[in-house]
Structure 1
Amino acid sequence: MSSERPRQSLPFEPKKSRKKASKAESQPAREPANDTPARETRKSAEKKTAKPSNRKPATREEAAIPEIVSQRMLFRMAILSGVPLFMAISIFVASYFIVINEVFVLPNTAVLLASLGCFGLSVLGLSYGIFSTSWDEDQAGTVVGWQEFKLNIGRTVQAWKEARRESRAKIKN
C-alpha cells in the first residue's frame, strides 16, 4: 500500500472544512436531578446547546457529476447491463418457442435459473458500469476499467468510513 499515491479529491466532490469542537461543546451537559431518565435529559441538553456547524452545504454545481463523466457511465451501464438484460429476455422467448414447437423437453427450472442469472448479471453490470468509469474528466480510462474500479471502490469505502466517523463524533458530542 505504500506505493499508492495520496487520494486526490475529484472536481465534483464537496469541499470539506474540518474544525475541532471547542471544549465547551465536547464536555457533557450536567444532569438535572429530576424524575426524567439521565440519557434523555443529556440528549435534549446537547441538542439545545449544540451550535450549527459552519460547514456550507455543497452547491449543485460542486456536487454534480460532470456531463462527460456521466455520459461515460451511461455508456458503460448500457453495455454491461443491456447485453445481459437482452439475453434474459431472449431466454424467455427462445424457451417459449422450444416448448410450443416441442423441440425438446425444457424444464421450467432451467428457464428460471438461466433468466435469473442473466438478470443478476444485468444488475452487476449497472454497478460495475458506474465504478469502472474514470471519474476524472480529463482521463477516458481503460476499456475494461479494472484499475478505475479498484480506485473508485476505494474512494467510496473511504467516504463511507469518514461519514461514519463524523456521525459517531456528532453522537459523542
Structure 2
Amino acid sequence: MRSLLCSHHTSPLQFLSRTIPKAKTQNPKALIASNNKLRYESMLRASPKGFQPSKNSEKPSKSDADPEDDPPIPQEVFERMMGRIVVSVGAPLGLGVAVLKLLDVLKDRNVWDVPLWVPFLTTLVTFGASTLGIAYGSLSTNLDPTKTNSLFGLEEAKENWVEMWKEDQ
C-alpha cells in the first residue's frame, strides 16, 4: 500500500483543493494571475434572480456597491431574529427527540409495541416543523428596531411575507 501512495506524483486529494493549481488546466481562462497570486475565476455567480455570468470573481469594493442594495439589519433586530429562530427551531426539535425517546422507553418496557410508522410520522412532523422554524423565525421578527414584537409574530410575518414577495421596481 505504501508503494502505491509513494508512486503517486501529486497529492491524492489535490483535486479537492481550489488553492493548489493543477499542472495543466482544462480552461486557460479559469486560472488568472493577479498581484503575483493565482486565483480561480468563477464562471457563474449566484444571485436572487438566478445564475448569471460573472465578469470578475473578486468581491466588489465598497465603491462598486449597488446604491439600491438593502441596508444592513440593525443589531437589535438581528438579536431578536436569532432568538425567534432558536425558539422556533428548538421547540419542535426538542419535542421530536423527547417523543422518540418516550416511544423507545415504551417499546423497551413492553408497554406498547410501537408500529414503525409512528416514529417515522413523529420524525417527519416534528423535524419538518423544526426546518420551517428558520423561515418563520426570520419572517415573524419586526424589522423596526424601535418597535417590539408580538408574542407569536403573526402580524409581523404577514407584513414581512408581502414585503418579501413585492416586485422590485
Give TM-score, length-normalised by structure 2. Answer: 0.57
- The answer as to 2:107 corresponding to 1:99 is yes
After the TM superposition, which residues 78-93 of structure 1 pair with which residues of structure 2 at under 5 Å, given as runs? 78-93=86-101
Structure 1 distance, partners of 2:83, 2:66, is 27
Structure 1 distance, partners of 2:161, 2:108, is 46
Structure 2 distance, partners of 1:122, 1:148, is 20
Describe the superposition over 1:15-58 as per-residue Cα deviations: whole angstroms up to 9, x where unpaired: xxxxxxxxxxxxxxxxxxxxxxxxxxxxxxxxxxxxxxxx9525
- The answer as to 2:94 corresponding to 1:110 is no
Give the counterpart letter for 1:134 in structure 2: N
Structure 2 distance, partners of 1:58, 1:128, is 29
2:145 to 109, 127, 137: 137
Decide whether the 8 Å contact of 2:100 with 2:122 is kept in 1.
no
Decide whether the 8 Å contact of 1:88 with 1:116 is kept in 2.
no
Match of 2:84 in 1: 76
Give the counterpart letter for 1:104 in structure 2: W
Match of 1:50 in 2: none
Unaligned regions of 5+ residues in structure 2, if any? Answer: 1-62
Give the counterpart letter for 2:92 in structure 1: P
Structure 2 distance, partners of 1:121, 1:140, is 25
Structure 1 distance, partners of 2:66, 2:74, is 15
Give the counterpart letter for 1:100 in structure 2: D
Give the counterpart letter for 1:128 in structure 2: Y
- The answer as to 2:156 corresponding to 1:148 is yes
Decide whether the 8 Å contact of 2:85 with 2:136 is kept in 1.
yes
Match of 1:66 in 2: 74
Equivalent pairs, count: 106
After TM superposition, give the deviation of residue 63 of structure 1 in Å.
3.8
Give the counterpart letter for 2:147 in structure 1: Q
Unaligned regions of 5+ residues in structure 1, if any? Answer: 1-54, 166-173
Runs ≥4 in structure 1, deviation > 3 angstroms? none
1:57 to 35, 57, 65: 65
Describe the superposition over 1:76-118 as per-residue Cα deviations: whole angstroms up to 9, x where unpaired: 1111111100011112211111111111111011111012100
Describe the superposition over 1:132-167 as per-residue Cα deviations: whole angstroms up to 9, x where unpaired: 100011111211211111111111101xx32xx7xx
